[in-house]
Amino acid sequence: MEVHRLAVAGRKPLIARDAGKRVAKAWLPRSRFADVAALATATLTLGPDAGAFYNLGWAQSFTGRPRQALDSYRRALDLYRQAGDRGNEAATLHSIGLVYNRLGYRQQALTHYHQALPIVRDVGDRAGEATTLTNIGGVHNRLGDRQQALIHYQQALSITREVGDRVGEAITLNNIGAVHNRLGDRQQALTHYQQALSITREVGNRDGEATTLTNIGLVYDGLGDRQQALTYYHQALPIQRDVGDRGGEAATLNNIGAVHDGLGDRQQALTHYQQALTITRDVGDRAGEAATLNNISTVQFQQGDLVRAEDTLDDVLEILRAVGDRGSEAIASFNMAALLVRMARPEDAVAFQRRAIVLAEQTSHPALDQMRTFLNQIEQMRKG
């Protein structure tokens, strides 16, 4: 870090860019997004640099600034194309696709992934090809097309095994497990997660180990075995703290809170949600902050504290609108409509539910039919 600071102060762009790249590579996995943004911004005072724009885009993406992230990524993309750097061109197209996917623009995400795919194939980047196929599978999964997701994940899995990419193999096994879990095939999910867990431990990938332990916990939670879920979550948590994965730590605290909520221990649920909320705010993870606040509002609703629940959901919706996450905004609007029905305010509920449906239509949300059914119920209630 000191080398970078001195290089910027001394107007030494080559040294600053190299040092900035190395520091960002260490900080990004530890969710030090604000620090990376400051680092990249300082580097860019010495002139345009594709790597700095790319790292800035990454930091902006994870701190609730997707539009700025897209601008930074596009500037990086232009520079990589001018330099004929096909590998980083593909990586940047991936990152743009990820932002669009988070914003709910699934077709835009697919467009960028499908632009990246022939590039990684042309340059012979088999690991990059597997990553791209995984990302395409992820979009289909979000669209509710589980079979298409599995097809792309299986293609990616074959490549990771062919090239000996054990970390990539574990990631893909986790993705396949997640699809089976959503399909209700818990045993298949556990089989794939256990395979992934063995690999992460074998190669010493502690981040991946924690992620897999969390996923196994989610399966047991879905099976109703909450104590087993807690066992796995509490194995994941110290690993995430050891490796400095603050985003993962917050996600696991949210999962632990959800288990306690399911067990009826609302205070323990709130305690863990509040810990997660502090972390998401510390690292500037606006999407994580919104998800955690949504969990808190659910507990407040269950406790009968409807006014506070409404205030908390207002905060959720404000964040989601700011970051442009239309899919999550659709669900939050749906939740608000349900709350307003409970508060005997059907007129307001109808307005929120109509908004939820518009957003769900725009993002091809899998819950669209459920939202339409609920709107009909509210309208009937209002007439009655």
For residues 276-290, give the mean pLDDT: 90
In a domain, 61, yes or no: no
pLDDT at 232 over 70: yes
Task: Write out 105-150 in H/E/C secondary structure.
Answer: CHHHHHHHHHHHHHHHHHCCCHHHHHHHHHHHHHHHHHCCCHHHHH
259 and 230 Cβ atoms separated by less than 8 Å: yes
Distances (CA, A) of 27 to 6, 24, 175: 19, 5, 25
The pLDDT-based confidence of 231 (bands split at 50, 70, 90) is very high
Weakest mean pLDDT among 30-39, 46-55, 292-301, 372-381: 30-39
pLDDT digits (tens, 9 = 90+) for 335-354: 999 999 999 999 999 999 99
Q: Identify which of 37, 50, 44 has the alpha carbon closest to the alpha carbon of residue 16.
A: 44
3: confidence class by pLDDT, cuts 50, 70, 90: confident
Task: Quick: pLDDT tens for 136-146.
Answer: 999 999 888 99
Please identify, among 310, 336, 356, the residue that sits at the C-terminal boundary of a domain: 310
**What is the extent of the structural domain holding 362?**
325-384
- Distance, in Å, from the CA atom of 274 to the CA atom of 284, rounded to the nearest integer, reads 15
Contact between 117 and 132 under an 8 Å Cβ cutoff? The reply is: yes
CATH number, residue 289: 1.25.40.10
Rounded mean pLDDT, 44-58 = 93
Q: What is the pLDDT of residue 384?
A: 64
Q: Give a yes or no: residue 24 inside a domain.
A: no
41 belongs to a structural domain? no
Left, alpha or beta for 325 (phi > 0: left; psi -120 to 50: alpha)? beta
Q: Is the dihedral of CA 54, 55, 56, 59 positive or negative?
A: positive
Cα(372)–Cα(379) distance, integer angstroms: 11
Give the residue-averaged pLDDT of 176-199: 96
Q: How does pLDDT run across 158-178, given as a tens digit for each residue?
A: 999 999 999 999 999 999 999
Last residue of a domain, one of 258, 281, 310: 310
Alpha carbons within 13 angstroms on the beta-carbon side of residue 191 total: 7
> CA–CA separation, 372 vs 378, rounded Å?
10
pTM of the predicted protein model:
0.82
Could you tell me if 331 and 368 lie in one domain?
yes
Regarding whether 251 and 306 lie in a shared domain, the answer is yes
H and E: helices and strands count for the chain: 20, 0
Domain count, the chain: 2
| Other Cβ atoms within 10 Å of 229 Cβ, number | 24
Query: Is the residue at 373 inside a domain?
Result: yes
Asked, for residue 206, whether it belongs to a domain, the answer is: no
Looking at the domain assignment, is residue 183 inside a domain?
A: no
Please report whether residue 374 resides in a domain.
Answer: yes
Q: State which of 263, 283, 310 marks the end of a domain.
A: 310
Whether 71 maps to a domain, the answer reads no
